[in-house]
Structure 1
Amino acid sequence: MTLSCLSGNVVAALLRLGYEDDPRLWRAVGWLLEIQNADGGWLCPYWKAHVRDKHGCFFGTICSLEALAEIPPARRTPALEKAAARGAEFLLRHHLYKADHHGFRTIKAGWLKLGFPWFYRYDILRGLWVLTKLGYQDERMADALALLREKRTPNGKWALEVTPFGRMQASLEPEGRPSKWITLYALWVLRGVHKSRLRNRLGP
């Protein structure tokens, strides 16, 4: 595999399926660490579209960072922790969806639309979920969290705003309707944020 997004997704899936002791998985993890970009994000070094790029790709970054987030804390080496911290800082530096060198304008409007399954796609919910899973509670997540809360419908759920047309035999849920998957991940994020704030308030 020579794509960071594909490799990250495969590693994350294998970890969820219980393959954390397979040496082939750890070779893939090692490769992800080797190709991490100088800015903390990830690119696809063997893909022609990225040959001249220097700025990390959000798609490659979120998939690779999600893979690192799936590694049990007890198995995270200092090198893994450092790579995860650099990847998280890449997202935080952009407030999850803003251009850090252009007045913090929205990079892509599509990243504000919540979709599932994610595949290689990036959006604010996936970014928030991965950062929360890694234990982050940072003020630079505030704008994305506010957008997520605004999208909550009066019945307490979140709608599926975009679907991966053409990439599946059938859609998991109808677009524009309340989504079990989006609601699950949104509540997971908000619960994690609440628990983190409670810990900070009460102390150790």
Structure 2
Amino acid sequence: MGAIDWLLEGDPAIRWQVLRDLTDGSPGAVAAERARVEHEGWGARLLALEDPDGLWAGGACFPAGYTGDEPGQPWTATMHTLQTLQLLGLDPESSAARRAIAGIAEHGRWEHAGQRYFDGEVEPCINGRTIEAGAYFGVDVAPLVDRVLGERLADGGWNCEVENGSVRSSFDTTIDVLDGLLAFERATGGSAALREARRGGEEYLLERHLFRRLSTGEVAEPRYLELAFPYYWQYDVLRGLDYLRGAGAEPDPRMAEAVEHVRSRRQPDGRWLLDRVPTGRVHFDLEEGVGRPSRWNTLRALRVLAWWDASSAHD
């Protein structure tokens, strides 16, 4: 079985994106498959776990009663579930999405200091993801966008450790903010200031060839070369490349090493494996396990390579 056929045997969340990004599927076929996310598979399972007040697991970033005494970080609370539903492609106009967003807007409060959910809190990594979800699901998050635009560091990116004294950006926080700014730009048209900030954040990644330290050229973090899903707040080269593809960036020679790393991870059968899953409690697994063939990584890698290979700008 070819990789595309294998992907098309997957969840509706995979199938509609394959039809859109990797085949000649008609807009009608794509829309029909996407509509199934609300009622079937992973999307329906996540929606069925929603609390009566619209939240998940009783919390914004952390589940109710979380004490920090478990491995990793739990991923069952509202923020991570909402991001997952967005990645699945839940239609923001669907009745389930409208109901959930209304409940979150009314009842969601950040654990940091009780801020209203779509007002955000203090960390740009959290606020970037909140902007992304808000923009995708039709919430006005313009004030939060203004906040993160004012928090960009001198090297072009962002870091959630600024409140603890950091003056250098991080890959993880920068990609969270970039995803948010791109979603907001798509939803509203954005502004010159937003586009300038987004380009600056992209340049931060490009100057580092998407995974290296600028100072030494060494690999900044080994996990940046591991292809993970879900990724939540964490960066890796496939996430970075898929963002650049989705942003319509022109292929740049500084992306080449990361692209070839992703290409090198392709298995003889044309599929990619799941290298890593962030440690912590989840509602249920979206893949068959680390070291097993990954539909999410295969989908994203194929569309990144199609984008890259279709252009001669990197020659």
Shorter-chain TM range is 0.7 to 0.9
Which residue number in structure 2 is paired with residue 10 of structure 1?
130
Q: Is the 8 Å Cα contact of residues 224 and 236 (structure 2) preserved in structure 1?
A: yes
Q: Is the 8 Å Cα contact of residues 99 and 106 (structure 1) preserved in structure 2?
A: yes
Match runs of 1:30-49 below 5 Å: 30-44=146-160, 47-48=163-164
Q: Is the 8 Å Cα contact of residues 2 and 46 (structure 1) preserved in structure 2?
A: no
Shift of 1:117: 0.7
Shift of 1:46: 5.8
Going from structure 1 to structure 2, the CA distance change for 1:114 and 1:45 (only over 3 Å counts) comes to closer
Which residue number in structure 1 is paired with residue 290 of structure 2?
175
Q: Residue 126 of structure 2 aligns to a residue in which SS? A: helix
- AA partner of residue 232 (structure 2): F
* Alignment TM-score, normalising by the size of structure 2: 0.57
Which residue number in structure 1 is paired with residue 266 of structure 2?
152
What do the CA deviations read for 1:24-61 (whole angstroms, capped 9, x no partner)? x111111111111111110226642xx1x221011110
Shift of 1:97: 0.5
Match runs of 1:38-117 below 5 Å: 38-44=154-160, 47-48=163-164, 51=165, 53-70=166-183, 71-72=185-186, 75-102=189-216, 104-117=217-230
Q: Is the 8 Å Cα contact of residues 35 and 45 (structure 1) preserved in structure 2?
A: no
Q: What is the alpha-carbon distance in structure 1 between the residues aligned to residue 187 and residue 260 of structure 2?
A: 29
**Structure having the higher Rg:** 2
Q: Is the 8 Å Cα contact of residues 97 and 106 (structure 1) preserved in structure 2?
A: yes
Q: What is the alpha-carbon distance in structure 1 between the residues aligned to residue 136 and residue 301 of structure 2?
A: 20
State the identity %. Answer: 34
Q: Is the 8 Å Cα contact of residues 175 and 240 (structure 2) preserved in structure 1?
A: yes
Going from structure 1 to structure 2, the CA distance change for 1:95 and 1:46 (only over 3 Å counts) comes to closer
Shift of 1:4: 1.0
- AA partner of residue 5 (structure 1): C
Q: Is the 8 Å Cα contact of residues 116 and 162 (structure 1) preserved in structure 2?
A: yes
Match runs of 1:127-142 below 5 Å: 127-136=240-249, 137-142=251-256
Q: What is the alpha-carbon distance in structure 1 between the residues aligned to residue 220 and residue 161 of structure 2?
A: 22
Q: Is the 8 Å Cα contact of residues 2 and 45 (structure 1) preserved in structure 2?
A: no
Q: What is the alpha-carbon distance in structure 2 between the residues aligned to residue 125 and residue 188 of structure 1?
A: 11
Further displaced range: 83-92 or 65-74: 65-74
Which residue number in structure 2 is paired with residue 193 of structure 1?
308
1:27 aligns with 2:143: yes
Q: Is the 8 Å Cα contact of residues 7 and 64 (structure 1) preserved in structure 2?
A: yes
Stretches of structure 2 lacking an aligned partner (at least 5 in a row): 1-120
Stretches of structure 1 lacking an aligned partner (at least 5 in a row): none
* Alignment TM-score, normalising by the size of structure 1: 0.87
What do the CA deviations read for 1:61-80 (whole angstroms, capped 9, x no partner)? 01001112222186021111
4+ runs of 1 displaced by more than 3 Å? none
Shift of 1:166: 1.3
Q: What is the alpha-carbon distance in structure 1 between the residues aligned to residue 188 and residue 253 of structure 2?
A: 27
Q: Is the 8 Å Cα contact of residues 212 and 218 (structure 2) preserved in structure 1?
A: yes
What do the CA deviations read for 1:159-184 (whole angstroms, capped 9, x no partner)? 11101221413322111111111111
